[in-house]
């Protein structure tokens, strides 16, 4: 490795870590100012705020915006090198323009590999404490309500909830219908059902109140059984657990990729729909790590040329690219979750577009 490679890598690492620290500090200050009223209103101790929330919020925001921080840091220190004519000197000394990309790619691959591991294994564990704090201390219970939920217990048995309350694990207007040869043969109706406890990963104990059971005989006769004063509720084991109802955005942040894949299988088997919601998160974690390399190429192509306006003009270009990247990511996510775009395509589409843009910018860069 040449001296210039070690020099650029050192600049790369120092600039990225400094930018990461600076912008994370700003984001933390903004979040604290927004939540300060809640902290005071609910009398949350300062130690709990720091140890249960912000110590986990900082890595969350740092990882979320790491590709954009990397772009800004590369543009900043590369512009300074270009302004001091260090690239011109290197090329004049016989070093190829593309050879100068090598230390950038080494640094980018190092950070991309680290972000990949953090996204898939480390960060979800940290997010559990942050999300738990928000649920216990900050979040309104109303957001735990979900409406009109349909689940399949097996291919011939369907379950319906008019409303599911995740906070007290209860369902309102609960019903189970069993079909045979496309004909309804058995139905249980209840005003309220409560999930008592999960027995294992696939089954749980439910308490069904104010129930009415109708059974259809082969000859069209119907028998009924309803709740009585002596038997006001019915305890039964159903092949459905609390995990089946995890549909809040914060839930997927707390699950490792292995847990997401397992839960995706649960969602598919329950017939609940929304598989793309979970599959998108799995692919997003990988695409986010790979975007570090793309942002490196774009940042180098923007800042490697000395222009009038210097660092300010280059940073303005980096901000435009960052905004476009965030907008494209949000558009792709909305398209995937709302309009049935393939989750893998939706997660990688922004990277594909910006990778092509990066190749074009590198090809047209002044050499």
pLDDT tens per residue across span 237-284: 888 777 666 555 567 788 889 888 887 877 776 665 667 878 899 999
Confirm whether pTM is higher than 0.85. no
Side-chain half-sphere CA neighbours of 162 within 13 A: 9
- Which one-letter DSSP state was computed for residue 201? S
Averaged pLDDT, 327-345: 86
282 versus 168: the higher-pLDDT residue is: 282
Q: Does the pLDDT value for residue 3 go beyond 70?
A: yes
Higher pLDDT, 3 or 307: 3
Percent of the chain with pLDDT over 90: 30
> Is 141 a residue whose pLDDT tops 60?
no
Range scoring the smallest mean pLDDT among 159-173, 183-197, 233-247 = 233-247
For residues 85 and 29, the model is more confident at 29
What six digits make up the tokens of 148?
């009109």
Q: What is the pLDDT of residue 324?
A: 92
Confidence band for 128, pLDDT divided at 50, 70 and 90: confident
Average pLDDT over residues 334-355: 88
Query: What tokens were used for 149?
Result: 């939920």
Please list the alpha-helical segments (H only) found in 234-274: 249-253, 257-270
Mean pLDDT of the chain: 84
194 conformational bin, left if phi > 0, alpha if psi -120 to 50, beta if neither: beta
| Predicted local distance difference test score (pLDDT) of residue 97 | 75
pLDDT band, very low/low/confident/very high, at 15 (cuts 50, 70, 90): very high
* Better-predicted residue by pLDDT, 203 or 320: 320
Most distant pair of Cα atoms in the chain: their distance: 95
pLDDT at residue 145, rounded to an integer:
66
- Report yes or no: 147 and 49 within 8 Å, Cβ to Cβ: no
Contacts 24+ apart (CB under 8 A), 268-271: 269/152, 270/151, 270/152, 270/240, 270/244, 271/150, 271/151, 271/152, 271/158
- pLDDT higher than 80, residue 360: yes
The first and second tokens of residue 82, run together, are 């270009």
Answer yes or no: is pLDDT of 114 > 80.
Answer: yes
Mean pLDDT of 108-126: 93
Mean pLDDT of 294-317: 82
* CB distance 265 to 241 below 8 Å: no
Residue 318 in this model has a pLDDT that exceeds 90: no
pLDDT of residue 10: 92
Dist CA 53 CA 128 (whole Å): 10
Q: For position 270, what pLDDT does the model report?
A: 63
């Amino acid at each position: 490795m040449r001296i210039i490679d070690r020099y650029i890598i050192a600049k790369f690492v120092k600039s990225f870590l400094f930018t990461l620290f600076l912008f994370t500090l700003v984001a933390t200050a903004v979040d604290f100012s927004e939540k300060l009223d809640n902290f005071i209103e609910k009398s949350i101790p300062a130690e709990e705020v720091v140890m249960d929330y912000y110590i986990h919020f900082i890595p969350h925001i740092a990882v979320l915006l790491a590709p954009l921080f990397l772009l800004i840091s590369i543009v900043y220190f590369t512009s300074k090198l270009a302004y001091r004519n260090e690239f011109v000197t290197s090329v004049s000394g016989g070093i190829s323009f593309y050879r100068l990309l090598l230390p950038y790619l080494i640094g980018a691959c190092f950070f991309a590999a680290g972000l990949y591991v953090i996204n898939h294994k480390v960060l979800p564990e940290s997010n559990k404490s942050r999300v738990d704090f928000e649920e216990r201390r900050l979040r309104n219970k109303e957001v735990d309500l979900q409406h009109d939920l349909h689940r399949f217990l097996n291919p011939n048995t369907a379950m319906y909830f008019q409303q599911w309350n995740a906070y007290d694990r209860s369902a309102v207007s609960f019903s189970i219908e069993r079909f045979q040869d496309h004909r309804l043969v058995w139905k249980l109706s209840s005003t309220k059902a409560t999930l008592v406890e999960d027995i294992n990963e696939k089954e749980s104990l439910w308490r069904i109140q104010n129930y009415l059971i109708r059974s259809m005989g082969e000859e069209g006769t119907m028998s009924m059984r309803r709740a009585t004063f002596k038997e006001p509720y019915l305890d039964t084991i159903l092949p459905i657990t609390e995990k089946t109802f995890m549909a809040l955005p914060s839930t997927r942040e707390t699950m490792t990729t292995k847990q997401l894949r397992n839960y995706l299988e649960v969602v598919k088997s329950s017939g609940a729909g929304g598989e793309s919601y979970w599959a998108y998160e799995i692919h997003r974690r990988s695409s986010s790590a790979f975007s570090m390399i793309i942002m490196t190429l774009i940042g180098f192509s923007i800042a490697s040329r000395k222009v009038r306006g210097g660092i300010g003009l280059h940073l303005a270009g980096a901000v435009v690219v960052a905004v476009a990247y965030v907008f494209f990511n949000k558009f792709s996510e909305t398209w995937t979750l709302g309009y049935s775009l393939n989750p893998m395509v939706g997660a990688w589409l922004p990277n594909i577009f910006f990778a092509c843009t990066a190749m074009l910018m590198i090809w047209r860069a002044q050499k």
